[in-house]
């Protein structure tokens, strides 16, 4: 970690995926450096699960030199960047500085709105704020990843809903609540015929122009 410290970066170490998960429950981190061989499970599945829950923390995945399959798998799972090793601490620190770029880099900006994914704060152009629940936040983030495109209901249920006992009804309820929180921007969230939702970055007439 010497290279990180010399760059003014503070780092904590986890020896397993469970330790990493526990650490993320206790603290907010600007970025995660992940070794795919970390004990305790499948690192790529771990990344995919975090993304499904709406966690946008930048993840730098360390991959073996020339391992295209590992690199492709990392990006498909949701890694922000795949960095080949071996590498020095200074190189890792430089990548982290470029990746994080300050707290604002974590903000999700859609049209005139900004979402702080850590705190669930949705900020409007006039400075007014609306606080989303974790489930509303996951729905907003998942739709934002597919801005201006319809996202099927089945996909959203898997990515957003934790209680699958009444998943379909829960998703509808979450969408209604999110639309209310959008207030004058409720037009951004539309229901798709035959199931699903779309989040629009601009009004639909403008989006088609």
- DSSP per residue, 54-91: T----EEEEEETT-HHHHHHHHHHT-SEEEEES--HHH
* Domain end point (choices 105, 120, 154): 105
Do 91 and 179 have their domain in common? Answer: no
Do 87 and 124 have their domain in common? Answer: no
Do 156 and 96 have their domain in common? Answer: no
Residue 104 has pLDDT above 80, yes or no: no
Do 139 and 88 have their domain in common? Answer: no
User: Residue 94: which domain range?
Assistant: 2-105
Dist. CA 209–CA 206, nearest whole Å? 5
Do 100 and 112 have their domain in common? Answer: no
Q: What is the pLDDT of residues 143-168, one digit of tens each?
A: 887 778 888 888 888 778 766 555 55
* Domain end point (choices 105, 121, 138): 105
Using pLDDT thresholds of 50, 70 and 90, give the confidence band for residue 207.
very low
CATH of the domain at 196: 1.10.10.10
Do 88 and 122 have their domain in common? Answer: no
Do 30 and 40 have their domain in common? Answer: yes
* φ, ψ for residue 139, nearest 5 deg: -65, -45
Do 97 and 34 have their domain in common? Answer: yes
* Domain end point (choices 43, 75, 105): 105
Q: Give the tokens for residue 157.
A: 């249920």
Residues in the chain: 209
Do 141 and 83 have their domain in common? Answer: no
Do 6 and 98 have their domain in common? Answer: yes
Q: What is the pLDDT of residues 7-63, one digit of tens each?
A: 456 778 888 999 998 888 887 788 889 998 889 889 999 998 888 877 788 888 998
Dist. CA 89–CA 108, nearest whole Å? 29
Do 7 and 100 have their domain in common? Answer: yes
Per the structure, the count of domains in the chain is: 2
Do 60 and 115 have their domain in common? Answer: no
């Amino acid at each position: 970690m010497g290279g990180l410290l010399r760059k003014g970066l503070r780092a904590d170490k986890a020896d397993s995926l469970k330790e990493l998960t526990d650490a993320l429950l206790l603290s907010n981190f600007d970025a995660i450096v992940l070794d795919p061989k970390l004990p305790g499970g499948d690192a790529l599945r771990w990344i995919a699960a975090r993304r499904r829950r709406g966690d946008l923390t930048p993840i730098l995945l360390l991959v073996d030199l020339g391992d295209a399959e590992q690199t492709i798998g990392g990006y498909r799972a949701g890694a922000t960047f795949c960095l080949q090793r071996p590498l020095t601490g200074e190189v890792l620190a430089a990548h982290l500085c470029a990746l994080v770029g300050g707290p604002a880099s974590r903000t999700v900006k859609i049209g005139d709105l900004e979402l702080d994914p850590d705190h669930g704060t949705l900020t409007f152009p006039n400075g007014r704020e609306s606080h989303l629940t974790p489930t509303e936040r996951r729905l907003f983030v998942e739709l934002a990843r597919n801005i201006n495109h319809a996202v099927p209901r089945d996909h959203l249920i898997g990515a957003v809903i934790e209680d699958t006992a009444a998943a379909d009804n829960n998703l509808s309820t979450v969408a209604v609540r999110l639309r209310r929180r959008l207030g004058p921007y409720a037009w951004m969230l539309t229901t798709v015929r035959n199931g699903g939702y779309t989040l629009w970055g601009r009004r639909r007439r403008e989006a088609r122009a």
